[in-house]
Amino acid sequence: MNLYIYSDESGVLDNKGKYFVYSGFIFIGDQQLQQALIMYGSIEKSVKKQLSIPKNQELKGISFNAQNKYRIIKILKRFKDFHKFSIYIEQDKIRKKEIFKNQKNRRRFLDYLYKFIIKSAILDLTQKTKLNLKEVQQIFINVDNQSIKTSGWYDLKSSIVKEFTKGMYNYEYDIQWDAIFPNLNPNNIHLQYCNSKHHLLIRLSDLLANSVNFSLKNNKNIFEILKENFIVVDYTKKYPK
């Protein structure tokens, strides 16, 4: 069995914006992945026609004005049977300002956040489904394309592989995180940065991340509306340091 993870972000981690969000989906096995692709391909085509968006133009969160945001919620509600995840940060509540000191610090923190939420989402999935982690043969992680150097890609991938297969110790919080895939071949964990123009489920993840960010800024309770199969983490509340 394979796991497929698709994700996108909303906001910029720069200590100026209000929120930063990572959101995405986890699909269990090829059949569930294909089902989601067919579903969203059909939905996207229909919505673009309704909004008079050209066929060659991407449908993303910014395609919807405030009055049309409800359309995104209607789309996302149709994916209630698929596992969703989101982690967000209220930037002015981050006390460790050295995170914003330079690009390297920001990238390291973003990578940490990303690892944290996809691991939390996988563990949440085992509690809500019959997923047996010992049966997972490969993990395909697909992230929206970012302007980072190759070393940044390597750092994130190697860090995910290490934490998933060997476990890691967090000195700051004195926490030992055990490996969740101790028997998985490290070569079977794949990380790909994707151009959303060519990946339907990255665009679907964009809609989720954009909706979460919009909801937080406008006091809309999207988490209650989309609560089925949805794990949400408020990082600044969970780790206020």
**In CATH, which superfamily holds the domain spanning 2-238?**
Ribonuclease H-like superfamily/Ribonuclease H (3.30.420.10)
- DSSP state letter for 80: T
Question: In sequence order, what are the residues at sequence separation of 6 or more whose Cβ sits closer than 8 angstroms to the Cβ of residue 84?
Answer: 23, 24, 25, 76, 208, 226, 229, 230, 231
As a whole number, mean pLDDT of residues 83-105 equals: 83
pTM listed for this prediction: 0.91
Flag whether pLDDT at 126 surpasses 60.
Answer: yes
Q: Express each pLDDT in 164-174 by its tens digit.
A: 999 887 666 56
As a whole number, mean pLDDT of residues 128-133 equals: 90
Ordered by start, the domain boundaries in the chain are 2-238
- Going by pLDDT thresholds of 50, 70 and 90, the confidence category of residue 208 is very high
Q: What is the pLDDT of residue 238?
A: 64
Flag whether pLDDT at 180 surpasses 90.
Answer: yes
Question: In sequence order, what are the residues at sequence separation of 6 or more whose Cβ sits closer than 8 angstroms to the Cβ of residue 162?
Answer: 168
Helices (H), 84-228: 103-128, 150-165, 200-217, 222-225
CA atoms of 42 and 189, how far apart (whole Å): 30
Q: Express each pLDDT in 60-72 by its tens digit.
A: 888 888 777 888 8
- Average pLDDT taken over every residue of the chain: 87
